[in-house]
Amino acid sequence: MIRITVGDEAIEGRDGQTIAGVLIGAGRTAWRTAQTGDRGVFCGIGVCHDCLVTVNDVEGVRACQREAVDGDRVEREVRA
Amino acid sequence: MRVAVIGSGIVGAACALALVEGGAEVVVIDRVGVAGETSSRCEGNLLVSDKAPGAEADLAVASNAMWRVLAARLDAERPSCQPLTEFEAKGGIVVAFDGGEPALERFAEAQRATGIRAEAMDVAALTEAEPFLSREVVHAVHYPDDAQIQPSTATQALLDTAVRAGARLVIGEVTGALGRAGRPGRLSGVMTTAGPIEADVVVNCAGPWAGEVAARLGARLDIRPRRGVILVTTPMPQRVFHKVYDSDYVGAVGSGDAALQTSTVVESTPGGTVLIGSSRERVGFDDRPGVAPAAAIAAKAVRLFPFLEETLLLRSYFGFRPYAPDHLPVIGADPEIVGLVHATGHEGAGIGLAPATAELVVHAVLGAPTALDPTPFLPGRASLQETA
Amino acid sequence: MTAATGTVGTTGTTGATRVAILGGGPAGLAAAQAALAAGAAVTLLDEGGRLGGQYWRHHEGLTDRRLQHGWARFERLRGVLDRAEVHTGASVWSAEASDGVVRLRAVVGAADAAGRVALDIEADAVVVATGAHDLALPVPGWTLPGVTTAGAAQALAKRDGVTVGRRTVVSGAGPFLLPVAQSLSVAGSEVVGVHEASRLGGLAAGWLPRPWQLVGKAGELVEYVGALARHRIPYRIGSGVVRVLGTDRVEGVVIAALDADWRPIPGTEREVACDSVALGHGFTPRLEVAIALGAVIEGDRRGRFVVVDESQRTSVDGVFAAGEVTGIGGADAALAEGAVAGFMAAGGALDDGRMRGPLAVRRRMRAFAARLERAHGIQPGWTSWLSDDTVVCRCENVTRRTIAVRADAPLRAMKLATRAGLGACQGRTCGRAVEAIVADAGGAPEGFDRRPVLAPVRLGEVAAVATGGPEQ
Ligand SMILES: Cc1cc2nc3c(=O)[nH]c(=O)nc-3n(C[C@H](O)[C@H](O)[C@H](O)COP(=O)(O)OP(=O)(O)OC[C@H]3O[C@@H](n4cnc5c(N)ncnc54)[C@H](O)[C@@H]3O)c2cc1C
Ligand SMILES: Cc1cc2nc3c(=O)[nH]c(=O)nc-3n(C[C@H](O)[C@H](O)[C@H](O)COP(=O)(O)OP(=O)(O)OC[C@H]3O[C@@H](n4cnc5c(N)ncnc54)[C@H](O)[C@@H]3O)c2cc1C
């Protein structure tokens, strides 16, 4: 079991899951604010860049590619 | 008067609009289409700050003023299908690292003498203007007249407007001259892959290929390509507010050295990306720049704005600046072939210089009055004849 | 920053041919095995955290065994890699070939982390085995959360053991929709239906006469069909999702019958409630590495691939290609081509006895790939399910109308005027769709495949090439 924070909330996932896997496992389908609404996973293999999040203060991390590590701080990205 | 304009980059498009509005019957010929080449592979800096006093600086100052009027007009009169020019009078900030301030100040002082506004900034003003700039910067000069445009859409807007005013666009490649029976050395139009096009005057706006086009028309013109690479980051909240560049830019522009040179201009675009230019290399039309120029530009950009270190590179692209051996634009009548006018060789300033170039072309073709001095740019000038 | 540079790929037997393999999917793994067998010093790189590519995507603790196929083959291929230098988590962002030397630059570390370790590979030959990604055609409403590609549904189910929704509609074309439906079911979503755009006529001309070739092995096909039956999943041909419904997320879809051109047939629309949609209309090869290396690409907007000869050699000396980058043929084709490419890159000969098997499989699978394209290839009528304001470029939110209006501009100018394809994915997702819309409007698209930045990389990591970067 691992625990990461998403904004102010702590969520749990299974060891080895990607950040996208943890988020979806916790019932979330969208976590980025795009110009026309929220986005989550689309291609699932690192090609479409729809699922980008900020992880531990580094912007532009593909949630579907990044394996979650206990204690990761995940933040929403907003495209104005 | 029937005028054939070869090339619909920014120079051809600006000339076409000015000519059609001056009363000419205009056909624009391009083998790729509108803004398919250099004018979509560059940046859109409308700079006065990088020009040392001289003929080109005078042209740049005049053209900068013309762009303000022209861009506003293109955007105001545009139908919804025509893209915006994205003109922005954001101003430029030229910065110097330790040891660079005397050279920058000397350069700015010379510019002030010619009427270019160049204001020294203290550290407090600089921090307020560009909060993310490196603390290593010790001196900066603000150029309020530097501006920015989206060169590709500006070119498309110019040509759309010219077409609405009656110009015709032909997609085809110019392959040779239409001669005038019994009158050698005189053009009566051009041969193209889309058929012959008759014209009283032919204007060569073929950018880096202008030398090749001139040869096909029987003229001699030495225009060479100088490759430049640009980096684009992923979109982000705005952290760069002016055009910010290192003062070593000033050295690179006028240099004729073939080896890789870089100088960094950093700016943000309305799309949220940061644009970082650029390099200069004389490698012909080689289309595989490899990583060396990108790495060199990135290193300088990160030095200017340390936050860029962690910024993702989205893409890179490159174009070929058209330059003449004496590094001045070539605008005016060919010295030998009657009916042929050139408008090229703008090197890294063709976007900025396009409106003034168009005015000089209308002067050359239609005899319209101009306050600009055409002589330094004439194709027959001595400094070109020696090297051609 | 912790970036460091080291030149590797020079290890191994002195004098051995240095073969770099880019991609650790079926093609890359088979290439590595064959190159090792031919005596080469092999370096294999893949961006993923684990080897296996798309076909063998897995995680030791998370993947349901029922979703793994040909696992023994994978373990055999992986088993020989202890004689190679293997880098996972290695994003290759630059590739150059000149004067017989191939140069790959990668950053190695957690995906998209800052300051990953720089890796600089020099080799005598390279096998480009970068595979493909899904081609999901735009549908009104496809930007709603809950819509993913079929491949995403597959990857999430296999790799992470999750599904985006509880009631999923699968829509698109091709046999790949079958394993996707199975995975969704196993991982916990009901599959409301699988909608195959092609009609019976097309299927009859394609793989139906030889269904055992569908996924290479009869067993695999039978298993999928069995899974559909077991989970009572309806499989409907000549139909597809033509609109996704919902305000903040997927609430349902509109399904319509499609004619042979994939044009929705008026009057056949019906609404189906669901909370997720998986779209997969085919695959797009990942060509950017091959293009950066200078390899010739051929085809049109229905499909462009790396051109290779009998030896899997591209137009560039020392550059080989295998797997989905050379044509969409499935895992068995990728394995066979990989074996040929690796062997030849290592200096082997085609008439070597060890090549007989792979060459035979390759021949058979290429014929199969042609039938696959005939049966399931995208038909031009699909654009008629778009409305003017359907977002086509997801990154920059560019609509069909905006693209069509500037369709007569050269591609570069069109992109700069509309921003289509200029966003974070660089047209990987929308490229083929934009080309189709431009073609509909009478324009002549020249292609979206050239992308000089091959994988996400940070400016500091690029700068390190110039500054040398700190020592490791
Ligand atoms: C990296 C880089 C950065 C730059 N940054 C700036 C900047 O910030 N500010 C600035 O002012 N300038 C900048 N420039 C310079 C500027 O881009 C050029 O000066 C300008 O685009 C040249 O425009 P053009 O119309 O002459 O050429 P092009 O835009 O190249 O147009 C020439 C046209 O001629 C056509 N053509 C050629 N041969 C034939 C033929 N035989 N028949 C028919 N058609 C033909 C071509 O298809 C082409 O469309 C930059 C250039 C580069 C490369
Ligand atoms: C999401 C998805 C899921 C799929 N699942 C199945 C399935 O379950 N069953 C099935 O029969 N078929 C599946 N396919 C079809 C699949 O493409 C083939 O069957 C097979 O995997 C192709 O093998 P390959 O070796 O050509 O490419 P791939 O398996 O795609 O392998 C290519 C590898 O190259 C790597 N790569 C690419 N570019 C770079 C770079 N710049 N730097 C570093 N590494 C790079 C990728 O990370 C990838 O691992 C799937 C396809 C997709 C897109």
For residue B171, the domain's CATH number is 3.50.50.60
pLDDT in tens, C78-131: 999 999 999 999 999 999 999 889 999 999 999 999 889 999 999 999 999 999
- The two three-digit tokens of residue B61, written as one number: 């100052």
Judged by its nearest atom, the ligand closest to the C-alpha of residue C280 is: 2
Smallest CA–CA distance, residue C395 to chain A, in Å, is 7
Residues B114 and B191 in one domain: no
The CA distance from B380 to C316, in Å, is 45
Q: Is residue B303 part of a domain?
A: yes
Residues B235 and B314 in one domain: yes
What percentage of chain C reaches a pLDDT higher than 70? 92
User: Which portions of chain A are predicted below pLDDT 50?
Assistant: none
Q: Tell me, what's the ipTM? A: 0.97
Residue B367 burial class via C-beta count within 10 angstroms: exposed 0-12, middle 13-18, buried 19 and up: exposed
Q: Where are the beta strands (DSSP E) in C319-428?
A: 319-321, 391-393, 398-399
Residues of A in contact with C456 (CB under 8 A): 60, 62
Where residue B373 falls (left for φ over 0; alpha for ψ -120 to 50; beta otherwise) is beta
Residues B169 and B315 in one domain: no
Tally of residues, chain B: 388
The predicted pLDDT at position C447 comes to: 73
Smallest CA–CA distance, residue B60 to chain C, in Å, is 25
The CA distance from B75 to B11, in Å, is 18
Question: Any idea where the domains of chain A sit in the sequence?
Answer: 2-78
Q: Are strands C18-22 and C125-128 parallel, antiparallel or unpaired?
A: parallel
H or E element in which residue C73 lies: helix C71-79
How far is ligand 1, taken at its centre, from the CA of residue B260, in Å? Answer: 20
The CA distance from B62 to B350, in Å, is 14
Whole-Å CA distances, B134 to B126, B137, C461: 10, 6, 19
Whole-Å CA distances, B104 to B96, B98, B112, B130, C422: 7, 11, 12, 19, 36
Q: How confident is the model at residue C376 (pLDDT cuts 50, 70, 90)?
A: confident
pLDDT in tens, C172-187: 999 899 999 999 999 9
Residues B36 and B71 in one domain: yes
The predicted pLDDT at position C8 comes to: 44
- From the list B105, B117, B101, B100, the residue with the least C-alpha distance to B47 is B117
Within 8 A by CB and 6+ apart from C300, the residues are none
Q: Which of B37-41, C24-28, C252-256, C365-369 has the lowest mean pLDDT?
A: C365-369
The predicted pLDDT at position C472 comes to: 36
How far is ligand 2, taken at its centre, from the CA of residue C132, in Å? Answer: 6
Residue C12 has pLDDT above 70, yes or no: no
Q: Which residue in C456, C463, C466 is closest to B312 by CB distance? A: C456
Q: Is residue B83 part of a domain?
A: no
What is the residue type of B175? T
Beta bridge partners of B313: B233, C457
- From the list C362, C338, C427, the residue with the least C-alpha distance to C53 is C338
The CA distance from A9 to A5, in Å, is 5
Q: How confident is the model at residue C163 (pLDDT cuts 50, 70, 90)?
A: very high
**Domains within chain C, CATH numbers bracketed:** 5-133+284-373 (3.50.50.60), 136-281 (3.50.50.60), 380-440 (1.10.10)
Ligand 2 first shell, C-beta below 6 A: A 45; C 23-28, 45-48, 53-55, 90-92, 129-134, 151, 154-155, 176, 179, 215, 286, 289, 323-324, 330-331, 334, 454-455
Residues B231 and B257 in one domain: yes
Q: Is residue B86 part of a domain?
A: no
The CA distance from B201 to B211, in Å, is 18
Task: Say if residues C157 and C67 touch (Cβ distance below 8 Å).
Answer: yes
Structural domains counted in chain B: 2
Q: Tens of pLDDT along chain B (388 residues)? A: 999 999 999 999 999 999 999 999 999 999 999 999 999 999 999 999 999 999 999 999 999 999 999 999 999 999 999 999 999 999 999 999 988 888 899 999 999 999 899 999 988 999 999 999 999 998 999 999 999 999 999 999 999 999 999 999 999 999 999 976 667 788 999 999 999 999 999 999 999 999 999 999 999 999 999 999 999 999 999 999 999 998 876 655 555 566 788 888 999 998 899 999 999 999 999 988 989 999 999 999 999 999 999 999 999 999 999 999 999 999 999 999 999 999 999 999 999 999 999 999 999 999 999 999 999 999 999 998 765 4
Q: Which domain holds residue B286?
A: 92-144+224-323
* Strand, coil or helix: B291: coil
* Strand, coil or helix: B213: helix
CATH number for the domain that contains residue B101 = 3.30.9.10
- From the list B20, B156, B36, B18, the residue with the least C-alpha distance to B85 is B156
pLDDT in tens, C193-223: 999 999 876 666 665 555 555 555 556 767 7
Judged by its nearest atom, the ligand closest to the C-alpha of residue B47 is: 1
The predicted pLDDT at position C33 comes to: 98
Residues B12 and B97 in one domain: no
What is the arithmetic mean of pLDDT over C310-334?
96
Q: Is residue B377 part of a domain?
A: yes
H or E element in which residue B153 lies: helix B151-164
Residues B138 and B172 in one domain: no
Judged by its nearest atom, the ligand closest to the C-alpha of residue C285 is: 2
Q: Which residue in C1, C405, C423 is closest to B81 by CB distance? A: C405
End-to-end alpha-carbon separation of chain B, Å? 31
Backbone angles phi, psi at C29, to 5 degrees: -65, -45
Residues B40 and B155 in one domain: yes
Q: Is residue B87 part of a domain?
A: no
Task: Test B234 with A60 for CB contact under 8 angstroms.
Answer: yes
Q: Which CATH number fits the domain A2-78, given the four candidates 1.10.1660.10, 1.10.3210.10, 3.40.720.10, 3.10.20.440? A: 3.10.20.440
Residue B281 burial class via C-beta count within 10 angstroms: exposed 0-12, middle 13-18, buried 19 and up: buried
Q: Is residue B201 part of a domain?
A: yes
Point out the domain boundary residue: B273, B296, B323.
B323
Residues B115 and B130 in one domain: yes
Chains that touch B (3 or more CB pairs under 8 A): A, C
